[in-house]
C-alpha cells in the first residue's frame, strides 16, 4: 500500500489548487503531454481512446439523422476568409497565417483553419443549384488552430480536435429546426453518455458566434463552480449564402438563397469530463466512453489457476464490456491506485479463494462500493453496475449543480454571490448590452445563456432596474 499512498500524494488536492489538480490528472492519467510547441498538446493513447469513443458515439448520432462525413482543406486563402465581414473580424485575433511555401513568399496568405464556414460555402456554391440539391447535411472531423494567448490541455489549446457540422436548407424554418435538433443531440450525448447535466439555451448577441444570427449552447458546471461551454449550434440565416453567392432554383422556379447552420463539439469536452467527475485520486470516467470499462486484477496471481481464470473471464466479458487483465508484476496496491487514477468504472478482483467459491469482487470507481458476485452472473451484473455508475455520476453532478445555483434580484446580491459563492447565478436582464458589460466589470460574470426553460426571478433587470425581458444564467467560466 506504500506505492498506492505515494501515487495518490502525487496529485494536488482539488480543494488546495483546482488548476494544478487538473493538470496533475491530465498528465498522470496519461491523457496528454505537453509538446515542444507552445499551446499544443500530444494526446496520448489513453486520451486518444477516450476521444475515439466520444467521436464514435457522436458520429453514430449524426449519421442516424442523415449527416455525411466530408474532409475539407486545412488552408483557407485570405480572400476567401474576407468574404464574410463579421466572421473574419471575429476570428482575426486568433488566426495563424502561412506566408511562405518552401523558400518562396506566397502571393496570397493562407489561413490555417480556425473553423471551416468559408471553405464549406465555397464548395456549396459549386454543388447547390436546385432545391433538389437540398438539404446538404455535412460533418467534418478534423483539427483546427486558434492562436490562444493562455492555454491549458483540452480546455484551451492552439490546436484542438473537433467535429464541425455544416448544413444548408431550403428555408429558414428548416435551418432553425436543424440548429435546435443538433443542440439537443449534444445535450442528450452529454447526459446519456457522459453523465454531465447541461443547461440548454441561447447566447446573447455579445456572446454569439461571429457571423451567426443566433447561437445556441449547452453549459455544464464544473466541480469548482465554473461554467464550461460544452457544445454550440449556430443559425446563420442566408448571410453566408449571400456573401458567397450561393443560390438555387426554388420550387416556384425563382432564385433563392439557402439557409445555413453550423455546430461543433471539441476535445474540450474531455476537460469537462475530468472537471465534472474527477476526484483527488484522479479520473472518474463515465462508462459509455471509458477506454476500459472493467479491469481484471488477479490477486496472488503466482498461484496456480489464478491467471488462467482471469484470462478466461476477460474472454467471456469482452462480449459485454471493454475489458483488460493486468497480469503485470506490480503490487496489488499499485494496480488499485493506477486504475483509480485512470478512472476505470469497474475493478474485478479474483484470487484463489474467490475461484474456490465461484465468485469475484467488483468495485465501483465512483463510490468504491464492493459487491461479491457469482462468476455465473457476471454477464448480467456488469452491465447493471456500469449503468449504476453512470446514474450515480449524473445524480451527483446534478445535485452539485443544483446546490451551487443561486437566484439574485439586484446588483448588490449579484456582486456578493459572485464574490462568495462559486457556481451559477440566475438573474433577470433587460437585454441591454451596457448592463451585460457592467455585470462583467463589477461582478466578474459573463452571460452563459438565456435558458430555454425560463423562470421568473423578478420583474426588473438585475443591473439597471428597468423592466426585464429574460432570465439569464450568469457565471464565471473556462
Q: Clarify whether residues 378 and 416 are in a common domain.
A: no
Q: What is the CATH number of the domain that holds 344?
A: 3.40.50.800
Q: Clarify whether residues 118 and 229 are in a common domain.
A: yes
Q: Clarify whether residues 209 and 303 are in a common domain.
A: no
Range of the domain at 217: 12-277
Q: Could you tell me if residue 236 is inside a domain?
A: yes
Domain limit, last residue, from 277, 305, 330: 277
Does 2 score more than 50 pLDDT? no
Q: Side by side, which strands form the sheet with 294-298?
A: 323-325, 294-298, 346-350, 359-364, 370-374
What cell was used for 351? Answer: 484470487
- Return the minimum-mean-pLDDT range out of 63-72, 77-86, 133-142, 444-453: 77-86
Query: CA 328, CA 355: separation in Å to the nearest integer?
Result: 20
Q: What is the CATH number of the domain that holds 409?
A: 3.30.110.30
Q: Clarify whether residues 58 and 115 are in a common domain.
A: yes
Confidence of residue 8 (pLDDT cuts 50, 70, 90): low
Grid cell 483540452 in the structure block, residue:
154
Domain limit, last residue, from 277, 310, 334: 277
Q: Clarify whether residues 314 and 459 are in a common domain.
A: no
The pLDDT tens digits of the residues spanning 245-262 come to: 999 999 999 999 999 999
Q: Could you tell me if residue 194 is inside a domain?
A: yes
Confidence of residue 471 (pLDDT cuts 50, 70, 90): very high
For all residues of the chain together, what is the average pLDDT? Answer: 95
Q: Quick count: other Cβ atoms within 10 Å of Cβ 106?
A: 13
Q: Clarify whether residues 217 and 145 are in a common domain.
A: yes
Q: Could you tell me if residue 393 is inside a domain?
A: no
Query: CA 239, CA 129: separation in Å to the nearest integer?
Result: 17
Show Cβ contacts of residue 289 under 8 Å, excluding neighbours closer than 6 positions. Answer: 50, 53, 54, 57, 193, 194, 273
pLDDT at 87: 75
pLDDT at 333: 92
Q: Could you tell me if residue 333 is inside a domain?
A: yes
Q: Could you tell me if residue 185 is inside a domain?
A: yes
Q: What is the CATH number of the domain that holds 29?
A: 3.30.930.10
Q: Clarify whether residues 378 and 435 are in a common domain.
A: no
Q: Clarify whether residues 134 and 230 are in a common domain.
A: yes
Q: Clarify whether residues 187 and 217 are in a common domain.
A: yes
Does 5 score more than 60 pLDDT? no
pLDDT at 9: 60
The pLDDT tens digits of the residues spanning 308-322 come to: 999 999 999 999 999
Q: Could you tell me if residue 443 is inside a domain?
A: yes
Q: Clarify whether residues 433 and 333 are in a common domain.
A: no
Number of structural domains found in the chain: 3
Rounded to an integer, what is the distance from CA 106 to the centroid of its chain? 37
Q: Clarify whether residues 98 and 149 are in a common domain.
A: yes
- For residues 297-311, average pLDDT: 94
Query: CA 471, CA 451: separation in Å to the nearest integer?
Result: 7
Q: Could you tell me if residue 203 is inside a domain?
A: yes
Does 7 score more than 60 pLDDT? no
pLDDT at 448: 98
Domain limit, last residue, from 277, 303, 328: 277
Q: Clarify whether residues 333 and 382 are in a common domain.
A: yes
pLDDT at 225: 97
Q: Considering only CA atoms, which of 233, 175, 226, 222 is closest in space to residue 200?
A: 233
Q: Could you tell me if residue 285 is inside a domain?
A: no
Amino acid at each position: 500500500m506504500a506505492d498506492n499512498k505515494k501515487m495518490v500524494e502525487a496529485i494536488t488536492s482539488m480543494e488546495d489548487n483546482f488548476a494544478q489538480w487538473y493538470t496533475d490528472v491530465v498528465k498522470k492519467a496519461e491523457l496528454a503531454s505537453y509538446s515542444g510547441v507552445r499551446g499544443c498538446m500530444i494526446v496520448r493513447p489513453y486520451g486518444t481512446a477516450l476521444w475515439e469513443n466520444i467521436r464514435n458515439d457522436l458520429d453514430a448520432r449524426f449519421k442516424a439523422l442523415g449527416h455525411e462525413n466530408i474532409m475539407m482543406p486545412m488552408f483557407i486563402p485570405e480572400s476567401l476568409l474576407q468574404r464574410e465581414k463579421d466572421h473574419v473580424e471575429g476570428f482575426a485575433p486568433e488566426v495563424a497565417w502561412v506566408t511562405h511555401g518552401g523558400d518562396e513568399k506566397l502571393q496570397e496568405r493562407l489561413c490555417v483553419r480556425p473553423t471551416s464556414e468559408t471553405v464549406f460555402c465555397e464548395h456549396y456554391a459549386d454543388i447547390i443549384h436546385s432545391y433538389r440539391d437540398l438539404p446538404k447535411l455535412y460533418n467534418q472531423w478534423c483539427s483546427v488552430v486558434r492562436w490562444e494567448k493562455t492555454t491549458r490541455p483540452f480546455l484551451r489549446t492552439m490546436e484542438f480536435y473537433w467535429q464541425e457540422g455544416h448544413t444548408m436548407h431550403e428555408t429558414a424554418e428548416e435551418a432553425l429546426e436543424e440548429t435546435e435538433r443538433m443542440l439537443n443531440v449534444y445535450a442528450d450525448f452529454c447526459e446519456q453518455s457522459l453523465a454531465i447535466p447541461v443547461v440548454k439555451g441561447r447566447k446573447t448577441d455579445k456572446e454569439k458566434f461571429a457571423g451567426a444570427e443566433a447561437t445556441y449552447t449547452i453549459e455544464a458546471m464544473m466541480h469548482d463552480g465554473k461554467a464550461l461551454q460544452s457544445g454550440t449550434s449556430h443559425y446563420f440565416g442566408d448571410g453566408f449564402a449571400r456573401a458567397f453567392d450561393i443560390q438555387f432554383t426554388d420550387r416556384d422556379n425563382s432564385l433563392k438563397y439557402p439557409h445555413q447552420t453550423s455546430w461543433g463539439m471539441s476535445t474540450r469536452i474531455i476537460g469537462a469530463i475530468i472537471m465534472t467527475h474527477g476526484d483527488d485520486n484522479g479520473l472518474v470516467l463515465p462508462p459509455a466512453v471509458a477506454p476500459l470499462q472493467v479491469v481484471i486484477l488477479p490477486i496472488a496471481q503466482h498461484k496456480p489457476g489464478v491467471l488462467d481464470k482471469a484470462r478466461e473471464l476477460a474472454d467471456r466479458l469482452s462480449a459485454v464490456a471493454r475489458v483488460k487483465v493486468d497480469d503485470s508484476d506490480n503490487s496489488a496496491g499499485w494496480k488499485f491506485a493506477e486504475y483509480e487514477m485512470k478512472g476505470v468504472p469497474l475493478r474485478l478482483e479474483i484470487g484463489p479463494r474467490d475461484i474456490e467459491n465461484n465468485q469475484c469482487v467488483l468495485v465501483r470507481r465512483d463510490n468504491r462500493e464492493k459487491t461479491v458476485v457469482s462468476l455465473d452472473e457476471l454477464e448480467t451484473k456488469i452491465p447493471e453496475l456500469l449503468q449504476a455508475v453512470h446514474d450515480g455520476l449524473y445524480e451527483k453532478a446534478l445535485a452539485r449543480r443544483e446546490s451551487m445555483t443561486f437566484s439574485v434580484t439586484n446588483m448588490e446580491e449579484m456582486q456578493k454571490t459572485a464574490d462568495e459563492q462559486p457556481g451559477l447565478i440566475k438573474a433577470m436582464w433587460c437585454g441591454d448590452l451596457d448592463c451585460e458589460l457592467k455585470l462583467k466589470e463589477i461582478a466578474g460574470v459573463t452571460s452563459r445563456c438565456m435558458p430555454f426553460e425560463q423562470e421568473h426571478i423578478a420583474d426588473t433587470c438585475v443591473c439597471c432596474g428597468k423592466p426585464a425581458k429574460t432570465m439569464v444564467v450568469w457565471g464565471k467560466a473556462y
